[in-house]
Amino acid sequence: MSGNDLGPALATDDDRVEPAAVDRQAGFDRLIAADERLEPRDWMPEGYRKTLIRQIAQHAHSEIIGMQPEGNWITRAPSLRRKAILMAKVQDEAGHGLYLYSAAETLGVDRADLLDLLHAGRQKYSSIFNYPTLTWADIGAIGWLVDGAAIVNQVPLCRCSYGPYARAMVRICKEESFHQRQGFEILHTLSHGTPEQHEMAQDAVDRWWWPSLMMFGPPDEASPHSAQSMAWGIKKHSNDELRQRFVDMTLPQAHVLGLTVPDQDLRYDEESGHWRFGPIDWAEFHAVLKGQGPCNAQRMEHRRRAHDEGAWVREAAVAYAEKQAQREASGAAA
């Protein structure tokens, strides 16, 4: 569905008269109001485009930085089976990064520039990846809680107003649900193993619980861009709504795991049917966001090094693409 394709059905691009600005805005508004998808060729307000670029880039950066804490355990996974699963999962995250950089490029930016912005510290990635993975149980806690929170955040994005982003999210969410299940299974095995294994699982959940709740972003009253993103159909639910949904979904699973979450204020509210949780330490969230988390410097240093070391691969890929294009051109001319 196109928002500004107002010309006659058979018109070529050359014939098409640019619709007046007011018509373009009206076309955009109509599409958003009808909850339809906007495509790259459609006209869109500059603010909408910029917001999407920022959000999709931040999302893409999070996928590739998110490979680091788990990559840390590939060589130390406790069995061949666990190693194979973890490698597949970490590769999935690289794939998510690629879908998302591609989606961002449909908005007229180059992924090389987005990576430069990340490396210069001018674009962010999710703060959750600035925490360390201290034991094997952390791999379980990340899958269960971090991928679990990502799913709750991302399922509504499958219906967001920008088509390429929405379609990327459909694929990503399918893989994320596998990630969440594998994390749950790791924790379930540990929790029902020896007392030491149970303790290791509980310790990991104790450390990852609050940072996972912070993944939904600041509380609604402190989230200045949310209202505009919701009006544009990019965001479908508020941060606090999604956080509550995550808590309600996760606590019955904690019960099955035989693990607890580190919150003394936690109680089930019969009347509303929701779990009520204690206050979140937003000072910690802002400190990690500002670069003072336990692993911020390490993550960025590793990312820059990986980028530099991969320069020859990018050069080779470009040279190969150019050669293929030349062959095709000379083939077409013959």
Listed in sequence order, the residues at least 6 apart from 39 whose beta carbon sits closer than 8 Å to its beta carbon are 1, 2, 3, 163, 164
CA distance linking residue 160 with residue 154, whole number of Å:
10
- Check residue 253 and give left, alpha or beta (phi > 0: left; psi -120 to 50: alpha): alpha
Which residue lies nearer to Fe ion by CB, 96 or 235?
Answer: 96
Judged by CB under 5 A, which of 82, 179, 188, 207 binds Fe ion?
Answer: 179
Written as one string, the DSSP assignment of 246-312 is HHHHHHHHHHHHT---S-TT-EEETTTTEEE-----HHHHHHIIIIISTTHHHHHHHHHHHHHHTHH
70 binds Fe ion (CB under 5 A): no
Neighbours of 323 (CB within 10 A): 10
Nearest distance, CB of residue 96 and Fe ion, angstroms: 4
Q: Which stretch binds Fe ion (CB under 5 A): 42-50, 59-67, 182-190, 279-287?
A: 59-67
Nearest distance, CB of residue 97 and Fe ion, angstroms: 8
Nearest distance, CB of residue 262 and Fe ion, angstroms: 23
**Binding mask of the shown chain, residues 4 to 23, with x at each position contacting Fe ion by CB under 5 A:** --------------------
Nearest distance, CB of residue 93 and Fe ion, angstroms: 5
Which residue lies nearer to Fe ion by CB, 93 or 138?
Answer: 93
Which residue lies nearer to Fe ion by CB, 138 or 147?
Answer: 147
Which residue lies nearer to Fe ion by CB, 50 or 171?
Answer: 171
Report which residue type is found at 45.
P
- Check residue 258 and give left, alpha or beta (phi > 0: left; psi -120 to 50: alpha): left
CA distance linking residue 248 with residue 243, whole number of Å:
9
Angle separating helix axes 111-119 and 46-65, nearest 10 degrees:
70
CB 144 within 8 A of CB 253: yes
Nearest distance, CB of residue 120 and Fe ion, angstroms: 24
Please report, for residues 112, 330, 332, the alpha-carbon distance to residue 323 in angstroms, rounded to integers and kept in the order given.
21, 11, 14
Q: Which stretch binds Fe ion (CB under 5 A): 170-178, 232-240, 306-314, 325-333?
A: 170-178
Judged by CB under 5 A, which of 59, 61, 82, 96 binds Fe ion?
Answer: 96
Enumerate residues 136-155 that contact Fe ion by CB under 5 A. Answer: 147
Nearest distance, CB of residue 164 and Fe ion, angstroms: 17
Which residue lies nearer to Fe ion by CB, 4 or 126?
Answer: 126
Which residue lies nearer to Fe ion by CB, 144 or 232?
Answer: 144
Which residue lies nearer to Fe ion by CB, 178 or 210?
Answer: 178
- Please report, as ranges, the residues that interact with Fe ion according to CB under 5 A: 63, 93, 96, 147, 176, 179
